[in-house]
């Protein structure tokens, strides 16, 4: 996992940058506030602006450690650009992502360390998480909703540390997912997201600065997906 500018500066959604490489319809920037997606989080949306023009950013490609921004028009850019992340979309991803961590923490605590088998945030304000829960009672899962909202209301701070991979592997529960665990960065460390007093786990996504910045969360649906997996769908209220 690369370290992204948005990991250190999640509040910066607009910045002036420079094109360091370009081909028609795509650029690499000196610095970018975009999160390219991954681990279930959708890529940021937004635009690039330059003297006399603007293009929608339609997607990202990581190649040889560089992040290419794909553009909606085949323009070949050079020089200074303004980079603008869509704040509404980012905020929704960040809220949903924080909500999935709280759900995940409660499932881990109340269902004997059950692991995550999949996660996907959606652009309609919903998310799903799949858990390895062969014998769980779906009513017990449904009953987690007030606990999630209570933790949102407690306004727990959220902070980050970087831990060497070998250390992370031996701390129980730090690698929570069987499918979306982030790989280590160039320095061999992984990023740990801590909801203070509740949960620590590896993740490369964007999260709120504290839990009460989220809207309340609803558990919308629980499905059995195969013999082992339970799929919990949640949404922002
Ligand atoms: Zn996360």
Per-residue pLDDT tens over the stretch 102-147: 999 999 999 999 999 999 999 999 999 999 998 889 999 999 999 9
Characterize 125-141 residue by residue with b for buried, 16 or more Cβ atoms within 10 angstroms of its Cβ, and e for exposed.
ebbbbbbbbeebeeeeb
CA 99 to centroid of ligand 1, rounded, Å: 9
Band of pLDDT at residue 180, cut at 50, 70 and 90: low
Angle at alpha carbon of residue 29, lines to 28 and 35, rounded to 5°: 90
Instruction: Output DSSP code: residue 135.
Output: T
Comparison of pLDDT for 108 and 180, the residue scoring more: 108
What are the contacts of 218-225 at 24+ separation with CB within 8 A?
A: 218/145, 219/103, 219/141, 219/142, 219/144, 219/145, 219/148, 220/126, 222/138, 222/141, 222/142, 224/138, 225/130
Band of pLDDT at residue 93, cut at 50, 70 and 90: very high
CA 21 to centroid of ligand 1, rounded, Å: 30
Comparison of pLDDT for 130 and 227, the residue scoring more: 130
Question: Is residue 209 predicted with pLDDT exceeding 60?
Answer: yes
CA 35 to centroid of ligand 1, rounded, Å: 12
Band of pLDDT at residue 233, cut at 50, 70 and 90: very high
CA 98 to centroid of ligand 1, rounded, Å: 7
Q: What is the pTM of this model?
A: 0.93
Which pLDDT value is given to residue 1? 53
Question: Is residue 182 predicted with pLDDT exceeding 70?
Answer: no
Cite the beta strand spans of the chain per DSSP E: 14-23, 26-29, 46-50, 53-63, 66-71, 80-85, 116-121, 126-132, 158-164, 189-195, 199-202, 217-225, 229-236
- Alpha-carbon dihedral sign for residues 130, 136, 138, 143: negative
Ion ligand 1: residues, CB within 5 A, are 97, 203, 205
CA 73 to centroid of ligand 1, rounded, Å: 32
Band of pLDDT at residue 171, cut at 50, 70 and 90: confident
């Amino acid at each position: 996992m690369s370290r992204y500018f948005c990991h250190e500066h999640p509040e910066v959604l607009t910045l002036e940058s420079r094109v360091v490489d370009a081909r028609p319809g795509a650029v690499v920037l000196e610095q970018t506030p975009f999160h390219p997606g991954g681990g279930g989080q959708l890529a940021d949306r937004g635009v690039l602006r330059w003297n006399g023009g603007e293009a929608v950013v339609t997607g990202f490609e990581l190649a040889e450690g560089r992040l290419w921004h794909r553009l909606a028009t085949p323009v070949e850019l050079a020089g200074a650009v303004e980079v603008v992340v869509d704040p509404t979309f980012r905020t929704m991803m960040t809220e949903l992502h924080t909500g999935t961590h709280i759900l995940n923490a409660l499932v881990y605590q109340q269902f004997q360390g059950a692991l995550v088998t999949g996660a996907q945030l959606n652009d309609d304000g919903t998310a799903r998480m799949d858990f390895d829960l062969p014998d769980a009672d779906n009513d017990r899962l449904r009953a987690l909703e007030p606990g999630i909202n209570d933790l949102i209301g407690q306004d727990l701070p959220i902070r980050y540390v970087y831990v060497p991979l070998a250390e992370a592997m031996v701390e129980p529960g730090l690698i929570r997912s069987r499918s979306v665990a982030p790989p280590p960065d160039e320095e061999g460390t992984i990023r740990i997201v801590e909801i203070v007093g509740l949960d620590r786990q590896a993740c490369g996504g964007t999260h709120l600065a504290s839990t009460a910045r989220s809207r309340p969360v609803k558990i919308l649906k629980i499905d059995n997906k195969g013999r082992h997996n339970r799929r919990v769908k949640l949404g922002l209220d």
